Amino acid sequence: MERMYSSLIFLLFFLCDISLIEGFGFSVELIHRDSPKSPFYIPSETHFERVAKAIRRSINQANHFNKPSFSTKNIESDVLANRGDYLMSYSIGTPPVKILGIADTGSDIIWLQCEPCDPCSPQTSPIFDPSKSTTYKNISCTSDACQSVRDTSCSSEGSQQSCQYRIGYGDGSKSQGDLSLDTLSFSSTKGSAVSFPKTVIGCGTSNTLGNQGPGSGIVGLGNGPVSLITQLGSSIQGKFAYCLAPSLSRTTSPTKLNFGSEALVSGDGTVSTPLFLDKTFYYLTLEAFSVGNKRVEFGSSSSSSGGSGNIIIDSGTTLTLLPSDVYSELESTVASEITLNRVEAPSPSLSLCYEAPSDGNLDVPVITAHFTGADVKLNALNTFFQVSEDTICFTFVPTNQPVSIYGNLAQQNFLVGYDLQKKTLQFKPTDCTNQ
């Protein structure tokens, strides 16, 4: 999602160490947005206040995907969770300036806040000043890059017409600024940085971020022409993978976002399903859910522009959003298998909630998501989360929007690998805190 809409997600904390491997591969660290290691961590907020904000972002995300204005469009990086979002670190410009952005497979542009901005959204680190970068350059309105991105316009300053981008989100957040070129870099455990000159970025000079909270912007990992993945191109062989550590477990452990030769997902338990590439999003075909011996058919829902696939897989949305009829049947099936005391949902966005067991032992059924060719077993970690001291709720919710989203809570403790050349996606169950 260009992310903003999210679900409970966790922010990236620090610039990922990137290890360059033969065949070209690197990794970036992902950090939970609400981790104490995150620069966006707010000590005064309770854990459950952060959960509530993540819920609101998830619901708004479906609206974001449905908005016509939504668009744009071998390495390793550490990723940190942040309010249901995962942050990744990179550097921009010459000399390089460290930036933290939400890693979002539902977005297809890399944008960050830039000076001078009015308004500016609060962020902990200094806002990037493009005038101090010797490699920064505005993009012309007539350039292919400008023409390839939706929601662009021309801005005349002096004799030069520069390309302006606009992005809007379901929660009212927005960013506008210059579409530009600059050098994007990742740190390397080999001792030298991995740099990508003339990377297309959005340099936001008018930014209003609602429920997203403080941050430096988005790193779009979607399929659009100016996403990070598309711009890295053949250098990563169209491969990337991530492992999302439990976002609501209050973990401080970062995980990895891998690229190129480091993004191989294989071994015991690995399953593969076809991946359908839309102009921005990645679609899968979800055939049904099963709970015990009961099967809930998914049927059709949203689909890619090519008419294939029926659900978007999104690292930038926390909850899983399903068509109302599918959700209703799934909820009743799950509820029939649970003996806990059902309680009123603390939020209108949630429906199925229970009194949290005092011993912490959550006895809920395994839910299997049946994707084409791949059965993915979802445990309590993926399907329920604690929203208050005494309440747990189902992480799947209904939506009336014409889009279904497989959110990041359902992806926790899975190594998820994208192969855009073979058009396949792999799931491998694992403990992401040990990756």
Dihedral, 201, 206, 208, 212 alpha carbons, nearest 10: 10
Report which secondary-structure segment, H or E, holds 44: none
Is pLDDT above 90 for 338? Answer: yes
Asked if the structure places residue 20 within a domain, the reply is no
Are 289 and 219 in a shared domain? no
Are 193 and 301 in a shared domain? no
Are 237 and 282 in a shared domain? no
More confident residue, 299 or 15: 299
Catalytic position from the list 17, 78, 85, 104? 104
Asked if the structure places residue 187 within a domain, the reply is yes
Average pLDDT over every residue of 201-220: 78
**What is the model's pLDDT at position 186?**
84
How many domains does the chain divide into? 2
Helix or strand or coil: residue 29? strand
In the numeric block, which tokens belong to residue 128?
């990037």
Q: How confident is the model at residue 430 (pLDDT cuts 50, 70, 90)?
A: very high
More confident residue, 181 or 207: 181
**What is the model's pLDDT at position 193?**
74
Rg of the chain over CA atoms, in angstroms? 20
Are 383 and 296 in a shared domain? yes
Asked if the structure places residue 297 within a domain, the reply is yes
Lowest mean pLDDT among 250-259, 305-314, 406-415: 250-259
Q: Assess whether 104 carries a catalytic annotation.
A: yes
Are 226 and 313 in a shared domain? no
Domain ends where: 244, 276, 303? 244
% of the chain residues with pLDDT over 70: 74
Average pLDDT over every residue of 373-383: 97
Are 386 and 302 in a shared domain? yes
Region of 332 on the Ramachandran plot (φ > 0 left; ψ -120 to 50 alpha; else beta): alpha
8-state DSSP, 210: S
**204: closest CA among 135, 281, 101?**
101
Is pLDDT above 90 for 343? Answer: yes
Are 366 and 334 in a shared domain? yes
Asked if the structure places residue 21 within a domain, the reply is no
Are 234 and 145 in a shared domain? yes
Q: How confident is the model at residue 21 (pLDDT cuts 50, 70, 90)?
A: very low
Structural domain range at position 134: 26-65+83-244
Q: How confident is the model at residue 59 (pLDDT cuts 50, 70, 90)?
A: low
Is pLDDT above 80 for 245? Answer: yes
Q: What CATH number is associated with residue 153?
A: 2.40.70.10
Is pLDDT above 50 for 6? Answer: no
Is pLDDT above 90 for 289? Answer: yes
- Could you report the per-residue pLDDT of 163-186, keeping only the tens digit for each? 999 988 766 778 999 999 999 998
Are 38 and 131 in a shared domain? yes
Q: What is the pTM of this model?
A: 0.84
Is pLDDT above 60 for 247? Answer: yes
> For residues 41 and 52, what is the distance between their CA atoms, to the nearest angstrom?
15
Is pLDDT above 90 for 400? Answer: no
**What is the model's pLDDT at position 393?**
94
Domain ends where: 213, 244, 275? 244
Average pLDDT over every residue of 365-378: 98
Report which secondary-structure segment, H or E, holds 335: helix 324-335
Catalytic position from the list 34, 85, 178, 314? 314
**What is the model's pLDDT at position 372?**
97
Is pLDDT above 80 for 10? Answer: no
Domain ends where: 175, 210, 244? 244
Is pLDDT above 70 for 39? Answer: no
- Tell me what the pLDDT averaged over the chain comes to: 81
- Could you report the per-residue pLDDT of 145-158, keeping only the tens digit for each? 898 887 888 876 65
Asked if the structure places residue 377 within a domain, the reply is yes
- Could you report the per-residue pLDDT of 63-121, keeping only the tens digit for each? 555 543 333 224 555 555 555 578 888 999 999 999 888 899 998 899 999 999 898 88
Average pLDDT over every residue of 212-224: 78
Asked if the structure places residue 17 within a domain, the reply is no
